[in-house]
A = this chain, B = another copy of it.
Amino acid sequence: MDVQRLELLRELAERRSITEVARATHRTPSAVSQQLKVLEREAGLPLTERSGRGLILTDAGRALARSATDVAVALARANAVWDEFRHHATGEVSLVTFPTAGEMLLPGALQQIAAVPGLIVNCTDKDPELSDFPALTADFDIVLAYSLRGQLPWGGRGLTVVPLMTEPLDVGLPADHRLASRAWIGPADVVGETWIGAPDGYPFERILHQIEQQGGGRALVAQRFADMRLIEAFVMAGLGIALVPRYTWGGDQPGRLTLKPLRGVDAERQIVALMRPDRAERLAVRTVVDVLRAEAARVQAEHTSTAPPSSP
- Interface residues of chain A, those whose CB is within 8 Å of chain B, are 1, 3, 6, 43-45, 59-60, 63-64, 66-68, 70-71, 73-75, 77-79, 81-82, 85-86
Contacts and interface: CB of A to CB of B under 8 A. Distances in A.
Given A45-B85, A86-B45, A6 B67 contact: no
A248 B263 CA distance: 75
Contacts of A45: 82, 85-86
B78 A6 contact: yes
A82 B3 contact: no
Contacts of A63: 81-82, 85
A77 B1 CA distance: 11
Nearest to A67: B78
Contacts of A68: 78
Contacts of A6: 78
Contacts of A3: 3, 75
Contact of A44 (B71, B74, B81, B86): B86
B44 A64 contact: no
A66 B82 CA distance: 11
A286 to B, nearest CB: 15
21 contacts: A1-B75, A1-B78, A3-B75, A6-B78, A44-B86, A45-B82, A45-B85, A59-B85, A63-B82, A64-B78, A64-B81, A64-B82, A67-B74, A67-B77, A67-B78, A70-B77, A70-B78, A71-B71, A71-B78, A73-B74, A74-B75
A119 to B, nearest CB: 15
A33 B251 CA distance: 63
Nearest to A88: B44
A92 B215 CA distance: 71
A1 B66 CA distance: 21
A168 to B, nearest CB: 41
Contacts of A86: 44-45
A111 B6 CA distance: 36
A70 B68 CA distance: 13
A63 B40 CA distance: 34
A79 B77 CA distance: 20
B74 A43 contact: no
A87 to B, nearest CB: 10
A44 to B, nearest CB: 6
A44 B91 CA distance: 14
Nearest to A39: B82
Nearest to A59: B85
Nearest to A71: B74
A75 B78 CA distance: 14
A284 to B, nearest CB: 14
A63 B81 CA distance: 7
Contact of A1 (B1, B64, B79): B79
A256 to B, nearest CB: 55
